[in-house]
Structure 1
């Protein structure tokens, strides 16, 4: 799954690929975080929670809701796959407070 951020939109796509999670940014990281906050996918403190360059913490519940509404097909086992992705993230320390999941931001400017 990826979240694509450009100057005017934030789109969740590749929602059936739950083996990865990334943010693809067409703008600088500060603008990307602001766009993610505006879209309800990150908390206002997302920029303060950075774990190094090009990392952001996404609201897992909001991301799940956006992914469910995204166009495209959903496997019958999508909910189980989502839960598996979040459990994997948690096992690797990529969850914060059980509510936010760590995502790498790929700079595609």
Structure 2
């Protein structure tokens, strides 16, 4: 699954969740946007926050709510639970389980 921040309508960056059935990976992909634009778009969407150029924290409940309705895999919920459990085992899940730490990939090479 990928959370993207890309230039949207009227050149205003927007956030979208894509590849929702691929729960073997999760990262934030930035299009040609500044860190400030990315941070603002993430916060406006409720999907998370940008910590720095390489790290973001995604809201677990908001991410699931954005992805699950578009999922096609019959066992998607079980795959989701495995992804979250794996993140916990790697130390990528906050103590309260509310946010996932993810890597940021920038199309701008920043």
TM category, shorter: 0.7 to 0.9
Distance 1:30 1:82 in 2: 30
Counting matched residue pairs gives: 101
1:18 corresponds to 2:23? yes
Distance 1:104 1:29 in 2: 14
Q: CA deviation at 1:53?
A: 4.1
1:37 corresponds to 2:40? no
Distance 1:102 1:13 in 2: 18
The secondary structure found in structure 2 opposite 1:68 is helix
Q: TM-score, normalised by structure 1?
A: 0.84
Unpaired runs of 5+ residues, structure 1, are none
Bigger Cα displacement from structure 2, 3-12 vs 74-83: 3-12
Moved segments of 4+, more than 6 Å: none
Q: CA deviation at 1:68?
A: 1.6
What is the RMSD computed on CA atoms of the aligned residues?
Answer: 1.5
Unpaired runs of 5+ residues, structure 2, are 8-12
Q: CA deviation at 1:34?
A: 1.4
Structure with greater proportional strand content: 2
- Give deviations 1:64-102, integer Å, cap 9, x for gaps: 0000234xx521100000000000000100011211001
Answer 1 or 2: higher relative contact order, Cα 8 Å, separation at least 6: 1
1:55 corresponds to 2:62? no
Distance 1:2 1:68 in 2: 13
Q: What's the counterpart of residue 34 of structure 2?
A: 28
Q: What's the counterpart of residue 72 of structure 2?
A: 74
